[in-house]
Structure 1
Amino acid sequence: MINRVILLILDSVGIGALPDAHDFGDVGANTLGNIIKSTGGIALPHMQALGLGNIEGIEGIDAVTLPQGAYGRSAEISSGKDTTTGHWEIAGLHIKEPFKTFPDGFPKEIMTRFEKAIGRGTLGNYAASGTAIIEELGAEHMATGKPIVYTSADSVFQVAAHESVISIDELYQMCVIAREIMRGDYALARIIARPFTGEPGSFSRTHRRKDYSLDPTGKTMLDYAAEAGYEVVAVGKIEDIFNGKGITHAVHTENNMDGIDQTLKMMEAFPTGLIFTNLVDFDMKYGHRRDSSGYRKALEEADARLPEILSRMLPHDLLIITADHGNDPTFKGSDHTREYVPILAAGDLVRKGTDLGTRRTFADISSTVSEVLKTKDTGVGSSFAAELFDKV
């Protein structure tokens, strides 16, 4: 009945603290709700029409009498609140051991090995905002040629370099080296290349960012869809998050609008299978930088383009919109936040106005995708396909 799923991740658009938020220092976090409160409102008419305001716990967006889609929210069962954990759970994995973090910087042993391998020293080695540390150390980096190494509250080893000082290829090779070092007892979720350009006082990061992830801990819905003969198309940083596993085609993007453009192109090119898109700007540009107004504007811009996706859907398509964690721009620090994520589902065959309730795990999405595409399930989640359709 359904032969194509478009899965759209609004990166970091959480909708309220989870019951275990106290374990993560996130009591009171509510990315969408606090953006609405702090900026005086938000206009998301197309997601509202699908049922966004009808989701339990949503404040500041009115419910509609007859939503044009199905709606609900999901908790997270994995131990973490990072990008990798959230996406892997959406794809059907339960991550029981959190990825390692180094909030005080990386051990001397690690940095010595890294510097020896790349043949030069480094700057930084502390937790910081990417834009802030580039401004702090960018001039010294340009003068010395030493790359900037930093981390965050997430499980990441980030290497920043000016494109005129260290070439893109060399920066990527440095990250490959770091990926090999950061395994075993030092296993991190991601190594991230962070190229930038500009002059001191006006540096800007470029779209040539590249992530080097660990392999997923088991087979995901992507693997099973590919094994069943479906095209599995990754848009944005999805290919990096899954280290290419289970993906048949991939395209990287420059920003949210490019992500939507590329999703539309992939919808034209691949009439069946799974199109898996991440819109990263919410998290990268506004959540971490604690920019509520910018976050609100980005949400409104994405919502304004939702009709383009809906209008190009085929009769046997299913669209699912969700998120991978929170990143409340009004909250303390600059870290992700442990939150519920929204679920919106739409398509010609979807029962309008269906309340999916509160799902136990993000992996319910994976189970649903597996059921409608008739592929093997990872066994972690519970499908809500029967609630979406009169006949599965």
Structure 2
Amino acid sequence: MNDSEGFTDLLQAEQLTADMDSGTDLPHVERNLQQILEAGQRLLTRTPASQDNTDVQASILLGSKGFVLPRISERLEGLRTATTFEPLEPVRDTDIQGFLRNERENALLAVIEQTRKNTFEEVDHRQWECMENEWEREKQKILSSLLGSGQETFEFQQEPELLTSDHELVRGRSSLDSIEIAFARQVFVYNEHVIENGILPSLVDMFKEVASKTGDQNIIDLWQLVQCMTEIPLGHMFGSQPVNIRKDRQIQTHFVNKAKLYLQQSYIRYLETTITSNLRQAQLGGIPGTYHLVLSYLKIKPPVTARSSEDGELDGQPVWAVLFFCLRCGDLRAAKHVVDRAGNQLGEFPTYFSEYANSADHRLGPGNDTKIKLHYRRIVKNCSDPYKRAVYCVVGRCDWAENHTEILDKIDDYLWMKLSHVHDHTNSEGNHEQLTLPVSEDTL
């Protein structure tokens, strides 16, 4: 019975060893410590005493070095249950305390930053409000001193929305863009010269300099117009009231001449731009001057053709068309060059033009004025060449009501033609054939 039991135990041990060598998992052994101890004692009693003690101990638990069974009880009794079964502190994947502390600090910092921002905005707002009020008080003092003690002071209503606009406060101290700031800077510099009682620069020139740096052609054209229209000698009217200056006959004449000059200069720039964009077609060449500029422009944009070119051509272009464009550019020398080259083809017109070009105010004398108007009504008005009619109207100031729609297709051309007809109203009262400045303003 004992032999069969020993053989069975050896067979089981061999099977376990074979399973371990095969690489498969060991079978689960459900034994407590007491059962393991008893099985070891039985194996120990059946093992011959001649075997090595170390191998015997190793075979008890199937280990490489074995385990000393007599001392296992001592080691089991020496275990301290108080420390062995104490709950271990779990390993935390996330530092919750640190996370909460960080969130709390971030919330406090956000509140502090928002409070600081609101405080600065409020201080900025109050600063500008105080400055506006101070300027208003100073303005009232100045106006009160100018008006005197017996007159009422001016009242200026402030616009509160300009002071309380949130989006303007966020953008900074000024709601102006870069271009507006550049113009405001020029005003500041000009005021500095006024305060220092120095030589006052031209504020218009300063603004024009800023406009040239913007690159916006509309702004540049605007300040070129302002500069041209403000270069008017006041003479004896200097220091007078503006309403009296505007009514002065000489001032009005200067205004008309300056307006014509600006339109003529603008037209020359237009011709140059058109030719530059079409150099191959224009064939300008190297000869400077308005005459060749006009010829090149007419190669790009041919003149309005009539049934027949009256009075011939000049360098391949209708002579009246070339003469009209020279007058439109305001170049009387180029126009005289055309008249001299055309010669007798133009009839009596060279006589009229010579007096027109040599007079200070570009007016004809009573004799030639009557002749050119009569010649226009009888012959020129019914001719087929629109440029000839326009040239006679400019030189002789004939038929100011004619709009010349065939050749004047732009508002600048229309204004130039009307300004070319304007007479001094003090010498034109009762003459309905002459255009005065008030009548031209009403017509426009």
TM-score normalised by L of structure 1:
0.26
The one of the two structures with greater contact order (alpha-carbon pairs below 8 A, sep at least 6) is: 1
Larger radius of gyration: 2
Greater share of helix? 2
Task: Report the TM-score when normalising by structure 2.
Answer: 0.23
Q: Which has the higher strand share?
A: 1
